[in-house]
Amino acid sequence: MTTDLMTNPTSPATPWTDLLPSAAEACLTALLKGADQDWSRHARGLDWTCRQTLDHLALGLTGYAGLLIARPRDRYITLFASLDPQAPVPDCLDGLRIAASLLASTVRDTPRDVRAWHPWGHSDAAGFAAMGVTELLLHTYDITHALGLPWTPPDDLSAAVLARLFPDAPPGHAPSDTLLWCTGRTPLPGRPRRSAWQWDGTVR
Write down the domain spans for the chain: 17-182
Q: What is the pTM of this model?
A: 0.92
Helix (H, G, I), strand (E, B) or coil at 184: coil
Identify the pLDDT of residue 6. Answer: 40
Task: Give the CATH class of 17-182.
Answer: mainly alpha
HSE-up of 16 (CA within 13 Å, CB side)?
A: 31
User: What residues have CB less than 8 Å from 122, skipping those under 6 apart?
Assistant: 115, 116, 201, 202, 203
DSSP letter (8 states) at residue 3 = G
Exposure on the CB side of residue 31, measured as CA atoms within 13 A: 31
Ranges of residues in the chain with a pLDDT under 70 are 1-14
- Model pLDDT, residue 72: 84
pLDDT score recorded for residue 147:
97
Judge whether 57 and 135 are in contact, CB under 8 Å: yes
What pLDDT does 7 receive?
38
Average pLDDT, the chain: 91
Q: Round to the nearest angstrom and report the end-to-end CA distance of the chain.
A: 20
Model pLDDT for residues 152-163, shown as the tens digit of each residue = 999 999 999 999
* Alpha carbon distance 166, 159 (integer Å): 10
